[in-house]
Amino acid sequence: MSASKEQPLAGLRVIDLTRALAGPYATLLLAGLGAEVIKVEDPRHGDLARENSPYVGRDGVVVQKAHDDDVSISHLSRARGKWGVSLNFKKPGALDVFADLIRDADILVENFASGTADRLGIGYAAAKAINPRLIYCSLSGFGQGVDEGAKAMDVIVQALSGAMYASGGPGEPPVRMGIPIADMLAPVFGVIGILSALEQRHRTGEGQQVDVSMLGALTSFVGIENWRAMRLAGLPRRTGLTVHRLSPFGIFKCRDGHIAIVAAHDPLTIGLFKAMRADDMLADARYATRDARVANAILLEERITEWTSELSVAEAVAALEAEGVPVAPVRYPEDALADPRVVAREETMQIVHPRYETDAELRTVGVPIRFSDAQTGFADRLPVAIGEHNDAVYRDLLGYPPERIAALREAGAI
Amino acid sequence: MSASKEQPLAGLRVIDLTRALAGPYATLLLAGLGAEVIKVEDPRHGDLARENSPYVGRDGVVVQKAHDDDVSISHLSRARGKWGVSLNFKKPGALDVFADLIRDADILVENFASGTADRLGIGYAAAKAINPRLIYCSLSGFGQGVDEGAKAMDVIVQALSGAMYASGGPGEPPVRMGIPIADMLAPVFGVIGILSALEQRHRTGEGQQVDVSMLGALTSFVGIENWRAMRLAGLPRRTGLTVHRLSPFGIFKCRDGHIAIVAAHDPLTIGLFKAMRADDMLADARYATRDARVANAILLEERITEWTSELSVAEAVAALEAEGVPVAPVRYPEDALADPRVVAREETMQIVHPRYETDAELRTVGVPIRFSDAQTGFADRLPVAIGEHNDAVYRDLLGYPPERIAALREAGAI
């Protein structure tokens, strides 16, 4: 990261108790926006992502971990820019360390199952007593105090949220989204909650608890469509690759892949017919108006597919672009992540092992926000090992003497 | 909305120039967090969502608009809590009104195609000259200055982002997501950008431009998975309804629907076999370890499906819950939106026409964040007609005399 501009959240300190995906992605965004994030891991077994295959290290990308400093690519992505310390809350002295960590912090993020943090003595009530200005963000499956202890994996929440029946066609099975969308939406709303609470703190001087659930975040997204009204109005809800009421609209098959076409409005439909060199369709009453096209959508889609299936994706895209019709190739993730527009804006970023170079260009999630007078990006810092930055934090930041650190280590607390 | 607690963004004013979905959803979130949002619409034709069927009005839910005050359900959802004024930037006097609107505002949000705002004289440079503290958020398809004027519909961005090939199984066509995920992710990151810039403004006193692209927001989400590393490691990337490397994991068919099961770890697999009353599987070396189950995933899934396909969803869920196995019914959106947990937390909310009651319980997106010392929710205010609140804003807020308002109306500016 160059240092030409400051970062928007510079000067804020985050204590990060999270593991799995939802929590670490929240603190990754905060780190990328410039907050100082101190990731706290259990000394015996750290973030779950550390065990995610594949790994990268001195032998490049490998499926099985072979060396101590082989690092899971998931961890390499999610721990960027974070300090890493170890702390076992159940050991003697650990709650004092916790108190010291949060005393001057602005934000804490945790994603234990609801109820667990209180049992460990690090819940919101305990934290507030130490630092009333602290903004304490809890991410959970169903919300604080709801279904305590229930496990909320992404696929469980996807199933409950309605998202799986939002995609796919009539009569088809549900669709499992290949992106862990529930795991990712909760942290995004968690960050909005944290920053909103921060704004309120500028007025009141007080922190508060922010409580976001995976189920609520994803279900709210599903709620953007008017499901009941569509049913009451007799409109189809699962429409698959195309949408008849906007016809021609959707995904069409080419010789070597698929393309997306949007041509509902008259000038676009005419452009499409010109690209198809289908003079007969231009003159055909069945396709002359939007209502007619909706009524004859199946026939219309067959005609379009006859044309596209003879062409390569590149040929079909070029022909439609020449007529000003909105069109795009359906791309594979790996190609999409390398789009020069996305790379230039650091919406995806390269990850590298801090010690070893690889030839493989591994790209991962960035912070998809650009500022005219600030920059995003990650400090050159990553906890390869659990507790990698214990000295930097416990000795240099909290001022602990060497004997206290040794005693904590002896007790298994760090 | 009750008024027991304040809202986190109380006291902030937002000028909302957006139309379509991405922009209005951003300002909806800001309104739900307590900002005062003034929605500015072209007097000739307002937000595109006004024309989205179905509508609700004096005759209940209808597909065709029949009365002046029939309101699109999309508009009813997205315009909640907003003031609505009219303004045509191309008419005489309009840019002076624009200057008056933003002079004391904190935030502006626009989602014109990149380049359009500058051409209209309402771009960031013009706005900053009037109010250097203004945070000016631009949402676009590909980013400011990139592919100027290019149309970025949700389905086009989904195709480009890689998201469509992240779901689905090997050899299957791409999957169009039924939720307009690109239209919704860009505004969520826009709000994070706005609130981050607000935090920076507390330090510097200066506003700035926040620039979020639909393509970047969605592609960054796709980037959470390690696509290239999975390919290099020979791991399958499109796995459909189940995931073999976590087997048994995924979606299974019942007599009357589908369920999600997560039972990768030994104790959960044993619980699953007990629920299945499959004593033979408990003793079978092919299923005894995680590695063995991964190797025999297809056979294992067949055995599970034999069992689930004989049961109703309710029976299968009850049997698995009794053994402590994470399980959930795959629900339809309409049922998911009415989940009591989600309703209680206002993650989905009811919408009503301001003047007419309907029997239909129409539920829509809420603000999926709970605060211990603040509340979310929407003020009892909605622009049914374009320019509904012209007097409240131009006369009462900006202090324009009646003759100036009349002249603007005469000129077609409002």
What is the tens place of the pLDDT at every residue in A121-149?
A: 999 999 999 999 999 999 999 999 888 76
In chain A, the residue whose alpha carbon lies closest to the alpha carbon of B8 is A200
Per-residue burial over A91-130, b if 16 or more Cβ lie within 10 Å, else e, is: eebbbebbebbbeebbbbbbbbbbbebeebebbbebbbeb
- Angle between the N-to-C axes of helices A154-161 and A181-204, in degrees from 0 to 180, rounded to the nearest 10: 90
Interacting residues of A204 by C-beta distance below 8 A, sequence separation 6+: B373
* Average pLDDT over every residue of B170-186: 95
Token pair of B364 as six digits: 């829509």
Provide the chain A residues 29-58 that lie in CB contact (below 8 A) with chain B.
29, 33, 53-54, 56
List chain B residues with CB under 8 Å of A175.
Answer: 167-168, 175
| Percent of chain B residues past pLDDT 90, beyond the cut | 84
B23 close to A (CB below 8 A): no
Q: Is residue A375 very low, low, confident or very high in pLDDT (cuts 50, 70, 90)?
A: very high
Distance CA A200, CA A194 (A): 10
Evaluate whether B14 touches B107 at the Cβ level (below 8 Å): yes
Out of B11, B180, B200, closest to residue A224 by CB: B180
Distance CA B248, CA B264 (A): 5
B338 close to A (CB below 8 A): no
Q: Is residue A53 very low, low, confident or very high in pLDDT (cuts 50, 70, 90)?
A: confident
Task: Express each pLDDT in B384-402 by its tens digit.
Answer: 999 999 999 999 999 999 9
Over chain B, what is the mean pLDDT? 95
Q: What are phi and psi of A371, to 5 degrees?
A: -120, 145
In chain B, the residue whose alpha carbon lies closest to the alpha carbon of A177 is B167
CA dist list (Å): B334 to A291, B366, B386: 28, 15, 30
**Residue that has been written with the tokens 């960050």 in this structure:** A191
ipTM: 0.97
| Percent of chain B residues past pLDDT 70, beyond the cut | 99
Task: Give the CATH number of domain B13-222+339-410.
Answer: 3.40.50.10540
Based on the number of CB atoms within 10 Å of its own CB, is A65 exposed (0-12), middle (13-18) or buried (19 or more)? middle
Distance CA A222, CA A203 (A): 34
**pLDDT value for A233:** 82
List chain B residues with CB under 8 Å of A177.
Answer: 166-167, 177
List chain A residues with CB under 8 Å of B361.
Answer: 228
List chain B residues with CB under 8 Å of A331.
Answer: 159-162, 165
Contact A328 B156 (CB under 8 A): yes
Q: How far is B219 from chain A (nearest CA, A)?
A: 6
The angle subtended at Cα A354 by Cα A350 and Cα A357, nearest 5°, is 65
Out of A200, A220, A262, closest to residue B156 by CB: A262
Find the DSSP H helices in A164-289: 181-204, 214-222, 227-232, 266-275, 279-282
Q: Is residue A412 very low, low, confident or very high in pLDDT (cuts 50, 70, 90)?
A: very high
The yes-or-no verdict on residue A150 having pLDDT over 80 is: no
List B84's β-bridge partners, or say none.
B39
Contact A155 B250 (CB under 8 A): yes
Contact A347 B25 (CB under 8 A): no
Q: Which amino acid is at B81?
A: G
User: In the CATH hierarchy, which fold is given to the domain comprising B244-332?
Assistant: formyl-coa transferase, domain 3 (3.30.1540)
Q: How far is A354 from chain B (nearest CA, A)?
A: 17
The yes-or-no verdict on residue A213 having pLDDT over 60 is: yes
**pLDDT value for B3:** 59
In chain B, the residue whose alpha carbon lies closest to the alpha carbon of A240 is B176
Contact A260 B167 (CB under 8 A): no
The yes-or-no verdict on residue B182 having pLDDT over 60 is: yes
Contact A200 B241 (CB under 8 A): no
Provide the chain A residues 175-194 that lie in CB contact (below 8 A) with chain B.
175-181, 184-185, 188-193
Evaluate whether A297 touches A305 at the Cβ level (below 8 Å): no
Q: Which amino acid is at A241?
A: L
Domains B13-222+339-410 and B244-332 share a fold: no
Provide the chain A residues 254-293 that lie in CB contact (below 8 A) with chain B.
258-260, 262
Q: Comparing C-alpha atoms, which of B167, B309, B312 is closest to residue B237?
A: B167
List chain B residues with CB under 8 Å of A185.
Answer: 188
The yes-or-no verdict on residue B2 having pLDDT over 60 is: no
Domain boundaries, given as residue ranges, for chain B: 13-222+339-410, 244-332
B199 close to A (CB below 8 A): yes
Q: Is residue B319 very low, low, confident or very high in pLDDT (cuts 50, 70, 90)?
A: very high
In chain A, the residue whose alpha carbon lies closest to the alpha carbon of B224 is A365
> Between B382 and B236, where is the model more confident?
B382
* Average pLDDT over every residue of A49-65: 89
Out of A220, A337, A374, closest to residue B227 by CB: A337
CA dist list (Å): A403 to A93, A152, A385, A395, B298: 13, 41, 22, 10, 56
Contact B209 A329 (CB under 8 A): no
DSSP assignment of A318-346 equals HHHHHTT--EEE---HHHHHT-HHHHHTT
Evaluate whether A273 touches A265 at the Cβ level (below 8 Å): no
